[in-house]
Amino acid sequence: MILDLLRHGETEQGGLRGSLDDALTDTGWAQMRSAVAAAGPWQVLVSSPLQRCARFAGELGARLNLPVQHEPALQELHFGDWEGRSAAQIMEDQADALGRFWADPYAFTPPNGEPVEAFAERVLAAVERLGRQHAGKRVLLITHGGVMRLLLARARGLPRAQLLQVEVGHAALMRLVLDDNGQWVEER
């Protein structure tokens, strides 16, 4: 299976979006359209149900005449009390907590947020299901930065503490290939 990962484009609001259901800006739409213009072809489209992914997936699916499979388990990490706040805002009153999260997101959970371990379990289980469902196919997954960081960090063999060091810009398009040993490998 070939799994192309596409992060959503720029959203109307800044900061940590997590489970907030923000829309794309005009720039975000343009970023995503540009990212897929020379890519593909895909046999399967899968999307997070959040509108910053799902609305573009619907547009692309209509253009390619492919149905979109919405996968709730591939939503972004829920940042709890930090959702909707920028790093600068969090630094004003929770600098130590933010530093601990950036240093090792598995060891520190944002207040009232989703533990990264639970996030990783749900994302990896969903990707494993996709691998079984769509073996031998080219799949485009339209998702979030955190989901992509997790999958890319695993494919790169990075230690868990380095999860947030994986760079994933808006509308980044990256490819993973499931090898003969059942391991995801990043194709550059």
Q: What is the pLDDT of residues 68-96, one digit of tens each?
A: 999 999 999 999 999 999 999 999 999 99
Spatial CA neighbour of 18 closest among 103, 67, 90: 90
The residues near 4 (Cβ < 8 Å, ≥ 6 apart) are 39, 40, 42, 138, 139, 140, 141, 173, 174, 175, 176
pLDDT of amino acid 93: 96
Output the CA angle 112-78-96, nearest 5 degrees: 55
pLDDT at 66 over 90: yes
Q: What is the mean pLDDT of residues 132-149?
A: 96
Alpha carbons 71 and 69: distance in angstroms, whole number? 6
Virtual torsion, Cα 34, 37, 43, 49, nearest 10 deg:
20
Q: How many helices (H) and strands (E) does the chain have?
A: 5, 6
pLDDT of amino acid 150: 97
- Residue 139, classified by CB atoms within 10 Å of its CB into exposed (0-12), middle (13-18) or buried (19+), is buried
pLDDT of amino acid 144: 97
Q: What is the mean pLDDT of residues 143-169?
A: 96
pLDDT of amino acid 145: 96
Fold designation for 2-187:
Rossmann fold (3.40.50)
pLDDT at 167 over 90: yes
pLDDT at 180 over 90: no
pTM over 0.85: yes
For 80: left if phi > 0, alpha if psi spans -120 to 50, otherwise beta; the answer is left
pLDDT of amino acid 182: 82
pLDDT of amino acid 178: 86
CA 177 to chain centre: 16
Alpha carbons 143 and 182: distance in angstroms, whole number? 22
pLDDT-based confidence at residue 179 (cuts at 50, 70, 90) = confident
